[in-house]
Each structure stands twice: as C-alpha cells, then as structure tokens.
Amino acid sequence: MAVLELKQVSKTFGSGETATTAVAPLDLTINAGEFVILTGPSGSGKTTLLTMMGGLLTPTSGQVLLNGQDLSQMTEKQRGQVRFNQYGFILQASNLIPFLTVEEQFELVDRISKQDHNGYAEQLLTELGVAAERSSLPAKLSGGQRQRVAIARALYNQPAVIFADEPTAALDSKRAFQVVKTLKTQAKEHNVAVIMITHDDDLLAEADRVYTMIDGKLKD
C-alpha cells in the first residue's frame, strides 16, 4: 500500500539567471514496509529530496502526499504534527540529546506528546539489542549503539515513514551493515516505510529498491 507519493515534485533555488534546479520534476511511490535507498554523488539533490518528503522544505512544484494528504495544503502546525507523529528521522550524528540517558530520551517524547507508550521503549530497545544501555548517556555508547537507540526513538511514535540521512557514515563496515540490516528488519516487522540516503555501494543489496540521483534527476 502506498504511504508516500511524489507527483512531479521539483525544487529550484533562486530565480532568473541565477536559478539552480536541485531536483527536476519526478514521480515516486513508496509503500508501507519497504526499504528504499537513495544514492548518488554529493550535491546531486538527495538530501533536498528527502527534506521535501519529510515536510521540512516546500517543493517549487508538484505534490508530496502522505497517505493521500498533500503536505503543501497543510498549515505549518499541521506539518509539525505530521513530522512528530507520522515521521521518524535518523541522522548521521544520531541526534540524541547528550544530557539525557537512553530511557530519558523516550520519556521526553512522552512528555511532549502527553502519551504513555506503556513499555514500548523497552520493547524496541530489547529488539535492537540495547536494553542494557537504558541508563547510559549517549557519550558512553558506541557509534553502533547510538544509531540503534536512534532507530528505536524514530520508531517510538509508530510512524508511517522513517527518513535516514547517511546514518552509517560515521561507522565501520561491520556496524554499518548491522544498522542497515536493523532498518530493513524494522521496516518489515513494523510495516514502516524506510528511506535511506547512503554513499556506500556495499549496502545497496539490502534495499528493496535503489534509486540513483544525478544532477537532480532520479534513476532506478
């Protein structure tokens, strides 16, 4: 089932003679439970595309539809709710709050959302093999452990889509494969669409689909 649809989405920065096309008009459909990888050279438009899909950047033209709803037709408050409730983000630096322990990262989400996920954090941390680190600060974790905690946090709100921008860039090859296999497993087990950017060609075999961006154009 399609969870995210892009219809003739493009992004141009500047105007007139100084205009630069970061993303040429493209169509793309991502299904629930699918693990999709975007690859391509630096500056090819991958992060711009991911940012538009994540509702953080408005397309110059076209539509980004989440479960059939056009993000551009929402208010900024509504898009913020989508980012918090329907999206999960995993960044290269894991983006964990440095002064909170692992379990406190999830307690903060509960306080902001005014919800109690009834032990779901413990379940996710156990699934991802980092439950023993629940009382540790991020600085005390290895790079692979931090990324697995970041994956757990991204899954915590039971999102429809997870966006991962170079989540393995700072890891050695063994930990990189562990993180990618974990993302693929979580996509299937939780029926979440996962879209990951990577420059590492060795990781592409794990994807359900691979798209290459070159000069703002998407190729499969």
Domain spans, the chain: 2-219
Extract the tokens encoding 41: 């050279």
Say which range, 27-41, 127-141, 150-164, 168-182, has the weakest mean pLDDT: 168-182
pLDDT at 86: 93
Residue 94 has pLDDT above 80, yes or no: no
The secondary structure element, H or E, covering residue 123 is helix 120-127
pLDDT exceeds 90 at position 16 = no
Both tokens of 118, joined, read 């009834």
Asked if residue 49 has pLDDT above 90, the reply is yes
pTM: 0.88
State the average pLDDT over residues 144-168: 90
**Which pLDDT score, from 0 to 100, does residue 113 have?**
83
Average pLDDT over residues 11-29: 92
Architecture of the 2-219 domain: 3-Layer(aba) Sandwich (3.40)
3 state SS of 176: helix
Region 195-218: what's the mean pLDDT?
94
Residues near 116 by Cβ (< 8 Å), separated by ≥ 6?
A: 110
How far is residue 16 CA from its own chain's centroid? 33
Question: Is residue 170 pLDDT above 80, yes or no?
Answer: no
